[in-house]
Amino acid sequence: MTTLSNCPCCNGSSFEPYISCKDYTVSQETFQIVSCKTCSFKFTNPRPAEDKIGDYYKSESYISHSNTSQGLISKLYKAVRNYTLKGKLKLISKHSQKGNLLDYGCGIGMFLSVARSSTWNAFGIEPDPGARDFATKENKITRVYPDVKTANENLADVQFNCITLWHVLEHVMDLNETLTWFNKKLNSGGALIIAVPNYTSFDAQTYKEFWAAYDVPRHLYHFDQRTMVELVQKAGFKHIESLPMKFDSFYVSMLSEKYKTGSISYPKAFLTGLRSNLKAKEAKDYSSVIYVFKKP
Ligand SMILES: [Zn+2]
């Protein structure tokens, strides 16, 4: 295990316990999330060491990397994914000129595949070998690299118009280094688009330690709107707008119901998901938020 002694957001060194959560999908181990006493940034601490974190991704039910459909949740997930893929494509086209697109943590390459058919030049980074293999062979994304180091070696002269992270930044080990690298690799005026769960949402407050989007220890950071903007602005970006991901409250509530009670009550999960979206209208504290940043 690795213990961070400095806050990734403000560099402060004084933390207090925030919540303890169980890893429901893989290890069944319990992990602590701490809150920085200076800036209130939340992060999983201690966390598995870099050479051990891969063990926590080995699960049949970790479906974001697989394309096999089993059960109602997986079927719903896929239907919603196809719908949201179109929304994501619309969003990048609104904020960026077409050109080189990097999807950081591209998984099996679904988003890149959709973007490429709309004439974007698709590049990906994906550490999981199985997902990377699927992206290359099935989705024909030829430029997918396992990490920043390999991407640098292969893409020394390539700059991007747009970099996207769809539920990925919360998994990234070297948070500040990675954000700085995005700044270096983006063209001036380029867009950085980051979607992450939001622990201040109504569904998070309802399910507490059972909230599925804490997803410890795979989720290393737990963002709210203020800390996200502070963190990314620190790396030289300007915050443009934030948008909701309204399907996530339903999906996350279904999983959270399962963790809390052992089985899913669909009406209950649906109601919590719906209430989460309705309550978020004013403060925009949706279950998941898409942040749009630009490099000045
Ligand atoms: Zn802090």
Cα separations in angstroms, 79 against 60, 63, 67, 135, 244: 19, 13, 12, 19, 18
Domain membership of residue 268 as a residue range? 63-294
**Could you tell me the distance, in angstroms and rounded to a whole number, from the CA of residue 161 to the centre of ligand 1?**
31
d(CA 53, CA 6): 20
**Could you tell me the distance, in angstroms and rounded to a whole number, from the CA of residue 201 to the centre of ligand 1?**
20
Q: Is the pLDDT of residue 249 over 80?
A: yes
Residues 6+ apart with CB under 8 A from 59: 25, 26
**Could you tell me the distance, in angstroms and rounded to a whole number, from the CA of residue 231 to the centre of ligand 1?**
10
| Across 21-40, average pLDDT | 96
Domain count, the chain: 1
**Could you tell me the distance, in angstroms and rounded to a whole number, from the CA of residue 228 to the centre of ligand 1?**
12
| Across 39-67, average pLDDT | 80
d(CA 57, CA 158): 30
Q: Which residues pair with 243 in a beta bridge?
A: 290
Q: Is the pLDDT of residue 66 over 60?
A: no
Q: Is residue 224 part of a domain?
A: yes
Q: How confident is the model at residue 72 (pLDDT cuts 50, 70, 90)?
A: confident
Q: How confident is the model at residue 68 (pLDDT cuts 50, 70, 90)?
A: low
**Could you tell me the distance, in angstroms and rounded to a whole number, from the CA of residue 42 to the centre of ligand 1?**
8
Q: Is residue 7 part of a domain?
A: no
CATH of residue 219's domain is: 3.40.50.150
What are the tens digits of pLDDT across the range 119-177?
A: 999 999 999 999 999 999 999 999 999 999 999 999 999 999 999 999 999 999 999 99
**Could you tell me the distance, in angstroms and rounded to a whole number, from the CA of residue 8 to the centre of ligand 1?**
7
| Across 3-20, average pLDDT | 98
Q: Is residue 29 part of a domain?
A: no
**Could you tell me the distance, in angstroms and rounded to a whole number, from the CA of residue 221 to the centre of ligand 1?**
12
What are the tens digits of pLDDT across the range 167-202?
A: 999 999 999 999 999 999 999 999 999 999 999 999
Q: Is residue 196 part of a domain?
A: yes
**Could you tell me the distance, in angstroms and rounded to a whole number, from the CA of residue 227 to the centre of ligand 1?**
9
Please give the share of the chain, as a percent, with pLDDT higher than 70.
96
Q: Is residue 227 part of a domain?
A: yes
Residue listed under structure tokens 């701490």 = 34
Q: Is residue 1 part of a domain?
A: no
* pLDDT attached to residue 69: 54
* pLDDT attached to residue 61: 45
Q: Is residue 17 part of a domain?
A: no
What is the CB neighbour count within 10 angstroms for residue 35? 18
Q: Is residue 24 part of a domain?
A: no
**Could you tell me the distance, in angstroms and rounded to a whole number, from the CA of residue 18 to the centre of ligand 1?**
13
**Could you tell me the distance, in angstroms and rounded to a whole number, from the CA of residue 96 to the centre of ligand 1?**
31
